Amino acid sequence: MAKKPSPAKPHADIHPAAVPFLWLANKKVVKNFIYVPLIGLIVFSLLGLVFPLYHPAKWDFFMSYSVIGFVSYSFVVLAAWPLFKLLSRPENYYGEGGDD
């Protein structure tokens, strides 16, 4: 009698140590991940009132680093659009092949 093919194990191609963390790729988790830094930002900005800077600069206020972080990061990322247009060339531009 032919053996019954064993049912394919779920997550057979996933590393066992990664299985408990597969929820990280869940669409809902990804979609709602924005709340993690948002809540973190609100909490730490409010904590800025409790722990004001010991040596503030002229421009500092209770959430000044939040503003600096958000603006700086956004500037870097948004600058990538025009910079890519300006500086990107085909991969073999120098005629030496890719990097890998």
C-beta closer to other proteins: residue 7 or 82: 82
**Cβ–Cβ under 8 Å, residues 67 and 45:** no
Rounded Cα–Cα distance for residues 91 and 100 (Å): 12
Rounded Cα–Cα distance for residues 32 and 14 (Å): 24
C-beta closer to other proteins: residue 2 or 50: 50
C-beta closer to other proteins: residue 1 or 100: 100
State the residues that interact with other proteins by CB under 8 A.
Answer: 13-15, 17-18, 21-22, 24-25, 33-34, 36-38, 40-41, 44-45, 47-48, 50-55, 57, 63-70, 72-74, 76-81, 83-84, 87-94, 96-100
**Cβ–Cβ under 8 Å, residues 91 and 98:** yes
